[in-house]
Chains A and B, each alone.
Chain A
Amino acid sequence: MSVYEQITQARASAIGEIEQVDDMESLTALEPVLFGKKSTLGGLKRLMGEVDAAEKAAVGQALNQAQADVRQAHAMVKERFIAESRREQLETERLDLTESLEKSMRGRLHLVTQTMERLEDVFVGMGFTVSEGPQAETDWYNFEALNLPAAHPARSMFDTLYLDLGERTEIGDGEGGEATNILLRTHTSPVQIRVMESNPPPIYTVCPGRVFRRDTADASHMPVFHQIEGLVIDRGISLTDLAGTLNEFTAAYFGGAIRSRLRPSYFPFTEPSAEFDITCVICEGEGCQTCQRTGWIELGGCGMVHPNVLSNCGIDSEEWTGFAFGFGIDRLALMRHGIKDLRDMYTNDVRFLEQF
C-alpha cells in the first residue's frame, strides 16, 4: 500500500468515526484518537522520515490536507452538538411572558398636579420663576392691595370664605394699619403682591396654587380649585408684551394650531383689562358646540397691572409697568381629557386617579 493510499484510508476512517459519534461526550472521547500522537494520521507523520526526499513535499502536503479535513469534520460535528444542546437548554427555559402575576407598582400624580407641573415647565422655559404663598390670607393681600377696598362693588365678584380665628379675626392688621379679616385666598394674586413687596423689579414669575370660593359644587364649580397667575414687571412693558407672552404660552402649551386673542374686559387690579381667549381646542376654530360656534373659548383674565397696585407694593408706576394674567388649572385638565364633571376630579376614586 503506497503512503498515499495509507493517508487516504486513515483520513476516511477518521472521518467515518467522527460521523458515527452521536453526542458531545463521545466526540470528546474520540479526540485523542483523531488528533493525538497515537492517531493513525499522527502515526503516518512519524513515517515521514522514511519517505524519499523527492516525495517529501508532496506527501507532507497530502498529510496536512488529510489532517485539515479531519479537523473540519470534527469542528462541524462539534458545532452541531453545541447548537443542539443549546436548543435543548433554551427549550427547557421557555416562558409565557403574558403569565406575569406581578401587579404594576407605578403610582400616578393627581391630574391637577400633572397639569400644574406642565404649566410650570412651559413658563420656566419662557424665563419665569415659580412663586408660592399662603392659602390663608389677610384681606389686604387678597383684596385691598389689589385695588379692591372693602366697599368696592367688584368684591361681589368673589364669594369669599372667611376664617374664624377668635379674637385675632379682628386684631390682625393689614398694611393700611386697620383691622383686617383673614380669609382663604380667592385667587393667587396675593402671591403677586408678596413677590412685588419683597423683590425689586424686574419680575417674571408665575403663581400656581390652590384657591377657594364660597361656591356650591357642581359640574363646573368647586369651592376648592387651582389657578395659575403670571406677573411681569419691567421697564417699558406694554399691552403688546402681554399679548405676545400669552401667544407664546398658548403655542407652547396647546400646540401651534392654537392661538390667543385679547378682548377688553374689566378687573379692578388691571387697567387696561382684557379677557384672554384661545382658539377652541375641540374644533380648532371651525366653530362647534363647546365654543358656541365662535371658534374661541375664554381661558382667563389679564391686563396691565393697575398703577394703584404697583404703588401699594412700593413700585414706582412711572418707572415700571407690568402685566398680569390668570386662569384655572382644573378647567384645562377637564378640557384636555374630556372630563364632563369637575366633581369627578375630587372623589379620589382610584379608578379615576389611575387613568392619567
Chain B
Amino acid sequence: MKVLLSWLREFAPIEGDPYELADHMSDLGMAVEETRPLNPLKGVVVARVASLRPHPEADRIQLVDVEVEPGNPVQVCCGAFNMSEGDLIPFATIGTVMPDGMEIAQRKMRGELSNGMCCSAAELHLGADHDGIMILPQELQVGASLMEQLGLVGDVLWDLEINPNRPDAMSVAGVARDLAARLNVPFEIPDWSVPVVEAREADLVSIHVEDEELCPRFTARVIRGVTVEKSPLWMQMRLTLLGMRPINSVVDVSNYVMLELGTPNHTYDLSLVPNGHIGVRRATDGEKISTLDDQERTLLSGDGIIVNEESAPIGIAGVMGGASTEISESTEAVLLELASWESESIARTSQRLGLRSEASARFERGTDWRLNVNAVERFCFLLSEISSGEIEIVGEVLDVHGALQETGPVSVRTSRISLLLGREFTSAEIRELLLPIGFDVETTDEEDIQLVTVPSFRPDTETETDIAEEVARHYGYSSLGTRVPRSPDAGRLTAQQKMRRMIRQIMIGSGLVEAMPNPFLAPGDVSKAGLSVANPVQLLNPLAVEESVLRPSLLPGLLTSAAYNYSHRNTGLRLFETGAIFLASDDPTSSLPDESEQLAALLTDSDAAHAVGLLRELGDGLKVELTLINADDLPGLHPTRGARICIGEEEIGSVGEIDPVILERFEIEDRCAWLDLRLDGLIEAAIAGSGVAYQPVSTFPSSDVDLAFVVDEEVQASAVEQTLRRAAGDELQGLQLFDVFRSDQMAQGSRSLAFSLKLQAKDRTLTDEEVGGVRQRCIQAVETSHKATLRS
C-alpha cells in the first residue's frame, strides 16, 4: 500500500520529517519499505510539441521540435511516437539530473542534434509507464516547472507493507487515522454530502441477494447525466503514484474511492443492465463469463457472481466485472455497487483465476460494511466535483443486507493488559490510547474492567489479548522497556544431544567433512543406489518429479554429492552426514511415517578397511563395542566386501564398500568405502556405556603371548578373537590382531591370523606355569572351535 503525504493531510494535519514519519508508521506495524520525498525534478519543464519530423538516417527515432519559450523551438531526437503536434509534454532541459542520476547533455544521434529529452512517466519516477512520452493536460503553463504545475512539490510517497490483520490500513484514510493518533493530531472524515434528484422510472434498480453469507451487504446508487471523460491531472497523478493506471473519469473515481477508504466498488453502465435487475448468487460448475479484460472465464460452484434478470453472469463478485456492462464513452447512467463479500470466497476465486487485484486484496482482508454508504457519498461527491458537466445523483440509495454483524463490547482488564505488556498501565491510559483509533471505551463499576467496543474497520480485533496489541502498538513496542526472565532450571543439552555432537566431533577428527545432500530424491534414485524399498514415502505435491520421494537412506544423497564433486575434479572425498530418513510405517495406528536419524560416511578412493577403521574410531571414542558380521546381501554394498554392524545382538547398520556396479552408474571411478548406522542406537549404547566404574590399574608385571593360527577363509577373524577372549579368561588385559598373512605354503582357502595377548593379574605376578596354561587353553579353544592350526 502506497500513501502520499498530501492525501493523508486531507484527513489529518500530519507534519514532520518524512523519515521520522516513516519510523512512526513502521513502529505502528505498517512497515515502511520505501520513503520517497518527491524529487523536485529541477530542469524538467512543461513543453509544447511544435512539430514532428522523421529522422533522415533512422527509423526508430524521430525529430521533435519542442517549445519551452513560445516561438523558440529546440530540436530533440526521440524514440517514442505517441505525441502529436500541440501536445504538452515533460521536457528535461540540458543539465537536468534525472531521478536515476543520469545528466542530460546535448548529444548527436545519427548526425542530428538532440537538445534535451522528452520524458516518460517512468523516467520521471512518476508512474510505471515507460513506453510512451507522458502527455500532459493542456491547461498547464508551458515553460513552468513540471512538478510545480503538477502540484507535487514537497509531497512524499511512502510504500507500506500492510499485515493481513489490518484491512483498515489498506486505505489512505486508515493510515491517516493511525498516524494521527500517534502524532496526537485530530483525524476527521470530511462531509461529502451532495445535492440529489428524484428517481425516474428509468433509474429504478432492484437488487436480489440469494446468498447473504456470500454478500452480507449490497449498496447501490444511480448517477445519471454522466460524461465519461478524462479525469483531472491531480487525480490521475495520485492514482499513478499509488500504482494504478488512470482510465476514465468514472473508473478513476471508483479506484480513487477504493484507495482512499479501502472500499472496492464497481460501476455498471445502467443501460446495459436489463430492467435494472441485479442478482447475487453462487455460480454453478462450468458457468462462463467474459470479463472486463475480454477473457472468457470458467466458474466453479462457490464462486460469487453478479447476474442480470435472466440470471446470466455479469460480474465475478469482488474480483472483476463483466465486459457486457462495462462503462464506455457512451455511458450516461452509472449504477454504482458497493458490496461486502465473504473474504474466503474472494480469496479462493481470485487465486484460482489468477486475478488478484487491489480490490481482491482488500476483500480478502475483509472490508468494513459500515463504510458502504460513506463510500457511495464519496464517489458521488468526487464525480460531481470532477465532471465537466452537471451530473444528477439519484437520491435513493438501495441498501440490501441481512442482520449485519455487530460485535458486542469486549471486557478488558487493565491488570491483564499490564501483565501481558510488562508495564503498569492505568485504565485512563488505556482509554486514551484506544479512543483516537476509533475504539469506544466505557468504564464500569470496577476500576480494573472497561468495556471496549471495537470499530467495524478492525474485524481482526476480537479479544482482550487483541486489544492488548492495540494498546502496545500505540504506546510503542520499543517504549515498553525490557526485562529478562530466568528459567528456574539450568540450561543444558540432553545426554543424546551431547553424544550426537561428540559423534560429529569424532567424524571430523577422522578427517571427514559434513555434507547436507537434498533429502528429496527422484523416483529412480533409490534403485539407482542399489536399494530396494517397497514403498518409499512420496510427496503429494512435489515441486518437480526429481524431488518427489523422501529419502529412505542416506546413500543416494551422498553418492549424488560425491558424483557432483567428481564431476568437478574433487576426488579423494571423505564425506559424512547425520540426518533423518523416512519409511512408510508398518504400524497401522501411526499416522506418521517412520523417521529415524542415521549416520553415514562415504570415503572415495578407499577400501572397506578404511570404513572399518573409521568404525573402530567411533567405537573407541564412544566406548561402544561394535561387532561385525560379514554379509553378502547388504543392499548397495559390494557383495563380498560388506558386514553388518551389531551392538550385542542388535543390528544397527552396515559397513564395507559400495558395489562397483552402482559406482559406475554415478560415474565414480574409484573404490568407495561406506558406513551407515542408526544414530539413535549408537547414541543409546554410548550413553549406557558412559559412567563405567573405575578399575584400579594393576601394579604387577604383565606377560605377552603371541599366537598365530592358520584359519579357513570362511571363519571371521572376529570369531577367532571372540574364542580367544573367552578362553583367556579374566587375566586378559589386551587382545590385538596384529598380522594377517596369506601364502602358497598354506592350504588353499586359508590364511594366517596372528594375535597378541597381554595377560596380567590384579593381585599377583603371573607365574610361567599360569601363563603357559592360558596359552594352552587358547590354542586348544581356537583349534577345536575353528578347525584352525597353530603356526609354529
User: Hey, which bits of chain A sit against chain B, CB under 8 A?
Assistant: 104-110, 112-113, 117, 120, 123-130, 132, 134-138, 151, 153-154, 156, 161-166, 168-169, 171-173, 180, 182, 184, 202, 204, 210, 214-216, 223-224, 232, 234, 236-241, 243-245, 247-248, 261-266, 271-275, 292, 304, 306-307, 321, 345-351, 353-354
Kindly provide the distance from the CB of A350 to the nearest chain B CB, expressed in whole angstroms. Answer: 5
Q: Closest Cβ of chain B: how far from A25's Cβ, in Å?
A: 39
Whether the Cβ atoms of A224 and B518 lie closer than 8 Å is: yes
Q: Tell me whether B465 and A347 are in contact (CB under 8 A).
A: no
Query: A162 is contacted by which of B422, B478, B539, B579 (Cβ under 8 Å)?
Result: B539
Which chain B residue has the least Cβ–Cβ distance from A264? Answer: B29
Contact across chains for A172 and B595 when beta carbons are under 8 A apart: no
**Known: A244-B484, A349-B570. Is A262-B508 also a contact (CB below 8 A)?**
no
Find chain A residues with CB under 8 A from B582 CB: 136
| A173 to chain B: closest residue by CB | B591
B29 touches A348 (CB 8 A): no
B463 at the interface (CB under 8 A from A): yes
Distance in Å: Cβ of A199 to nearest Cβ of chain B: 11
B155 within 8 A of A: no
Minimum C-beta distance from B339 to chain A (A): 19
Knowing A224-B520, A272-B468, say if A109 contacts B481 (CB, 8 Å). Answer: no
Could you say which of A151, A232, A348 contacts B517, with CB atoms under 8 Å apart? A348
Q: In the complex, identify which listed stretch (B79-87, B469-477, B659-667, B775-783) lies at the interface while the others stay far away.
A: B469-477
> Chain B's nearest CB lies how many Å from the CB of A213?
10
In the bound complex, what is the Cα–Cα distance between A262 and B477 (angstroms)? Answer: 6
Q: Quick one: which of A107, A247, A292 has the most chain B CB within 10 A?
A: A107
Instruction: Encode B337-376 as 1/0 by CB contact (under 8 A) with A.
Output: 0000001100100010000000000001000000000000
Note all chain A residues with C-beta closer than 8 A to B472: 239, 264, 272
Partner-binding segment picked from B160-168, B379-387, B685-693: B160-168
Give the residues in chain A near B543, CB-CB below 8 Å. 214-216, 223
Would you call B477 and A163 a contact (CB within 8 A)? no
From 462 to 505 in chain B, residues with beta carbon under 8 angstroms from any chain A beta carbon are: 463, 465-466, 468-469, 472-473, 477-478, 480-494, 497, 501, 504
Give the 7 A-B CB pairs with smallest separation, nearest first: A172-B591, A238-B422, A264-B29, A240-B422, A107-B508, A272-B469, A244-B482
Is B31 located at the chain interface by the 8 A CB criterion? yes
| Complex contacts, A151 vs chain B, CB 8 Å | 344
**CA gap between A113 and B515 in the complex, in Å:** 10
Cβ-defined partner of B564 (8 Å) among A107, A164, A271, A348: A348
Candidates B487, B509, B568; contact of A127 at CB < 8 Å? B487
Majority SS of interface residues in chain A? mixed
Chain A residues whose CB sits within 8 angstroms of the CB of B574 once the complex forms: 107
Across the interface, do A153 and B347 meet the contact criterion of CB distance under 8 Å?
A: yes
Known: A224-B519, A273-B469. A243 touches B482 (CB 8 A): yes
Per-residue CB proximity of B516-546 to A under 8 Å, as 1/0? 1111100000000000000101111111000
Q: List 14 A-B contacts (CB under 8 A).
A: A107-B509, A107-B513, A113-B514, A124-B493, A127-B487, A134-B592, A153-B347, A153-B364, A240-B421, A241-B485, A244-B483, A264-B469, A271-B468, A272-B465
Of all chain A residues, the one with the shortest Cβ separation from B591 is: A172
A266 touches B480 (CB 8 A): no
Contact indicator A106/B591 (Cβ below 8 Å): no
Assess A154 versus B164: contact at CB under 8 Å? Given A106-B509, A350-B513, A354-B513.
yes
The distance in angstroms between the C-alpha atoms of A266 and B582, with both chains bound, is 34
A204 touches B493 (CB 8 A): no
**Contact between chains at A110 and B483 (CB < 8 Å):** no
- Residue in A105, A135, A248 whose beta carbon sits within 8 Å of that of B484 in the complex: A248
Q: Per a CB cutoff under 8 Å, which of B488, B537, B547 touches A163?
A: B537
B750 beta carbon closer than 8 Å to chain A: no
Complex: A271 Cα to B535 Cα, angstroms? 42
Most buried by A among B477, B497, B508: B477
- Chain A contacts of B537 at CB under 8 A? 136, 163-165
